[in-house]
Amino acid sequence: MALFRKKRRDLGRFVPPEPEPLAPLEELVEDALKIAYHGVRMAVKNHLIVNALRDGKPFDEAELEEFARGEYHALAQTNRDAAVRAQRDLDRDETTTGGRIYPGGKPVVIEPEHRRKPLALRAVADAYDTRAVEHDALKKLVDEAKAAAWDEIGGTLAARLSAPRVDDDPDYAAFRDERLAHFIEEDLKELLERPATPPAE
């Protein structure tokens, strides 16, 4: 069997790529704002649908803007909490005698992105709080959320509203009295004459 073994090709020695430079902090913050925008818009859309379908509340732009503002503030607080944890981990790694090692024995190397992480998280949190008080940005978000909500439930609501009611059917109306009389004279009578079922032990 060894005669048919394929020879291994020499693929050379692996050379790791040079580390990429860190993206500018402004670019990182802008990307975070774009991601947050889509998340907050979806939250507002779902909130609007629940208000309309479950609670029967009318569209209230001011209430929806306040809801969106709260979502941005909540995201900001989440990032500030993460910044505190990241700074704590960074301080621990920098002050540990002899350096910290992973469970397998490999020493922990503090990369540039780890050093910048607390600063980046705080910058993103500040950007979220700023966006939360920008009326025009919130209004645009609410308008888009309203359009998305209508795209999602508008067809269903329109179909329900346009569907003919059962009591509008001429055939139903013509025989309604007859069916009601039959129910009273025969079905109810049968139920009253039926012996009671003893309770289960």
Calpha distance 59→102 (Å, rounded): 54
Whether the predicted pLDDT of 121 surpasses 90: yes
Across 85-89, 128-132, 161-165, 166-170, the highest mean pLDDT is recorded for 128-132
Query: Between these two residues, 117 and 1, which has the higher pLDDT value?
Result: 117
pLDDT-derived band at 86, boundaries 50, 70, 90:
very high
Residues of the chain with pLDDT > 90, as a percent, come to 40
- Local structure of 67: helix, strand or coil: helix
Least confident stretch, 17-31, 38-52, 66-80, 86-100:
86-100
Calpha distance 58→55 (Å, rounded): 9
Whether the predicted pLDDT of 6 surpasses 70: no
Mean pLDDT, the chain, whole residue set: 79
Tokens of 47: 């909130």
Provide the H-helix boundaries in 96-169. 112-132, 135-162
Least confident stretch, 37-51, 102-116, 154-168:
154-168
Predicted pLDDT at 129: 97
Q: Select from 33, 140, 45 the least CA-distant residue to 79.
A: 33
Calpha distance 146→61 (Å, rounded): 9
Q: What is the CA radius of gyration of the chain?
A: 33
Residues 6+ apart with CB under 8 A from 48: 59, 64, 145, 146, 149
For residue 152, report the phi and psi dihedrals to the nearest 5 degrees.
Answer: -80, -40
Long-range CB contact pairs, 31-36, < 8 A, 24+: 32/124, 32/127, 32/128, 33/124, 33/127, 33/128, 33/131, 36/72, 36/75, 36/128, 36/131
Tokens of 50: 């629940």
